């Protein structure tokens, strides 16, 4: 009986405390709206005009803050490794043993080439327009997901994907180390980049190359994650 009486009291007091808490934080944030100060990004935009890449977000992601991106790739790599560790080698029934419906099968066959080409385009043109390696890689992985859920015969070989994954990861670090040797700065842009070629596919030195590598890495990692989560493949 005492329990019944205390529940409303705790609820009310909890509600009151949290309301005060929320209002305090909102008050602090409202009184300190960010002004239009001169930020590091504005300085980077100026610098960006000298490196020959049309999309400055790409330059920031791949070049100016390329070290973060390397770390991010490492996080994705470790997560994929951990998911593989957690979800393999347990004799599970495959979840979608029965055939998926006819519309999905035909639709997947029609759509998947388009999705792959779209993903590749987004990946390769990441330094000229919106998009880039992450987005393209995820689109390709989504195409593989579509194929995996639509047809029973389709499966991806982890050994095959591993080749791409390894090559992409290794070449990212190796490109960084070449920059260290040539320019004395890790991930330095050691290939020639001509500002007059800005807007062309071959421009910006190592930036598009690294973004394509990132795309391959993200695409293969995400495909492996998706495949592990569907638990089709126990050949690892």
Partner 1 sequence: MIETLLNFLNQEEVLQVIIVIGSMILFFIGLFGILTQRHFIKIFISIEIMEIAIFIFFIGLAFQKGKTAPMLGDGITKFINMNDPIPHAMILTAIVIGMAVLALGVSMAIEYNKLTGITTIDKMNGLKN
Partner 2 sequence: MMSSIYFIALPLLFGFSVPILSKFGKNGVAYTSLILQLSLFLLSITLVLDLTTPIVEVIAISPPLGIALVSDNVSMFFVTIFTFFTLVLSIYYMGQRENKKYANENKFFILLNMLLASAIGLVLSSDIFNIYVFFEIAGISSYILSSYEKTANALEAGLKYLLTGAMASIFLVFGIFLIYLHLGTLNLALISQNFYTLSIELQLLIATLLFVGFGFKVEVFPFNLWVSDIYEGSTPLVNALFSSIVSKAYLFVFFHLLYLFIPHHNFTDFLLSVGVISMILAEIVAIKQTNIKRVFAYSSLGQLGLLFIAFSMQTSDAIIAGLYILLAHSIAKMVIFLSLDSIINKYKSEDISVLEKMNSPFMKWILLISMLSLLGIPLFAGFVGKFLILKTFGIAGYFGIISAIILASLIEAIYYFKLIGLMFKNTEKGDYMEISILQKSVLLLLTISILFIGVYPFILSDWINLASETMINSHTYQNIILGVQL
Which positions touch partner 2 (CB under 8 A)? Answer: 25, 28-29, 31-32, 34, 37-41, 43-44, 47, 63-68, 70-72, 74-75, 77-79, 81-82, 85-86, 162-163, 165-166, 169-170, 172-174, 176-177, 180-181, 185-189
Distance set, CA 155 to CA 152, 230, 234 (Å): 8, 11, 11
Tell me whether residue 11 is exposed, middle or buried, using C-beta atoms within 10 angstroms of its C-beta: 0 to 12, 13 to 18, 19 or more: exposed
Q: What is the CA radius of gyration of the chain?
A: 24
Tell me whether residue 14 or residue 107 sits nearer to partner 1 (CB atom).
Answer: 14
Choose the contact partner of 198 out of partner 1, partner 2, none; CB within 5 to 8 A by kind.
Answer: partner 1
Question: Least distance to partner 2 from the beta carbon of 77, Å?
Answer: 7
Tell me whether residue 81 or residue 181 sits nearer to partner 1 (CB atom).
Answer: 81
Number of neighbouring beta carbons within 10 Å of residue 142: 17
Choose the contact partner of 63 out of partner 1, partner 2, none; CB within 5 to 8 A by kind.
Answer: partner 2
Choose the contact partner of 181 out of partner 1, partner 2, none; CB within 5 to 8 A by kind.
Answer: partner 2
Question: Least distance to partner 1 from the beta carbon of 69, Å?
Answer: 7
Secondary structure (DSSP) of 70-92 = HHHHHHHHHHHHHHHHHHSS--P
- The span from the CA of 94 to the CA of 31, in Å, is 55
Contact residues toward partner 1 (CB under 8 A) are 18, 22, 25-26, 29-30, 33-34, 36, 39-42, 44-46, 48-49, 54-57, 59-61, 65, 68-69, 71-72, 75-76, 78-80, 82-83, 86-87, 90, 128-130, 134, 198-199, 218, 225, 228-229
Tell me whether residue 161 is exposed, middle or buried, using C-beta atoms within 10 angstroms of its C-beta: 0 to 12, 13 to 18, 19 or more: middle
Question: Least distance to partner 1 from the beta carbon of 122, Å?
Answer: 14
Q: Which two tokens stand for residue 98?
A: 């029965």
Choose the contact partner of 49 out of partner 2, partner 1, none; CB within 5 to 8 A by kind.
Answer: partner 1
- The span from the CA of 31 to the CA of 208, in Å, is 42
- The span from the CA of 11 to the CA of 191, in Å, is 64
Choose the contact partner of 186 out of partner 1, partner 2, none; CB within 5 to 8 A by kind.
Answer: partner 2
- The span from the CA of 103 to the CA of 185, in Å, is 53
Tell me whether residue 59 or residue 150 sits nearer to partner 1 (CB atom).
Answer: 59
Question: Least distance to partner 1 from the beta carbon of 72, Å?
Answer: 5
- The span from the CA of 133 to the CA of 55, in Å, is 13
């Amino acid at each position: 009986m005492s329990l019944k009486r205390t529940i409303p009291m705790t609820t009310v007091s909890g509600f009151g405390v949290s309301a005060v808490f929320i209002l305090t934080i909102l008050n602090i944030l409202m009184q300190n709206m960010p002004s239009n100060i001169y930020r590091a990004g504005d300085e980077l935009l100026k610098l960006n005009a000298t490196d020959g890449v049309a999309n400055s977000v790409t330059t920031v992601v791949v070049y100016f803050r390329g070290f973060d991106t390397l770390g991010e790739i490492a996080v994705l790599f470790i997560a994929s490794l951990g998911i593989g560790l957690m979800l393999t080698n347990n004799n599970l029934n495959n979840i979608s043993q029965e055939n998926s419906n006819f519309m999905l099968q035909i639709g997947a066959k029609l759509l998947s080439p388009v999705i792959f080409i779209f993903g590749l385009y987004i990946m390769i043109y990441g330094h000229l327009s919106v998009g880039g390696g992450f987005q393209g890689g995820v689109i390709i992985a989504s195409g593989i997901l579509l194929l995996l859920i639509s047809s029973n015969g389709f499966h991806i070989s982890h050994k095959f994907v591993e080749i791409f994954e390894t090559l992409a990861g290794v070449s990212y670090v190796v490109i960084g180390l070449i920059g260290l040797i040539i320019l004395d700065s890790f991930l330095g842009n050691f290939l020639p980049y001509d500002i007059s070629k800005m807007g062309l596919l071959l421009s910006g030195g190592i930036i598009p190359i690294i973004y394509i590598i990132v795309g391959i890495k993200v695409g293969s990692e995400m495909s492996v994650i998706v495949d592990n989560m569907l638990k089709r493949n126990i050949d690892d």
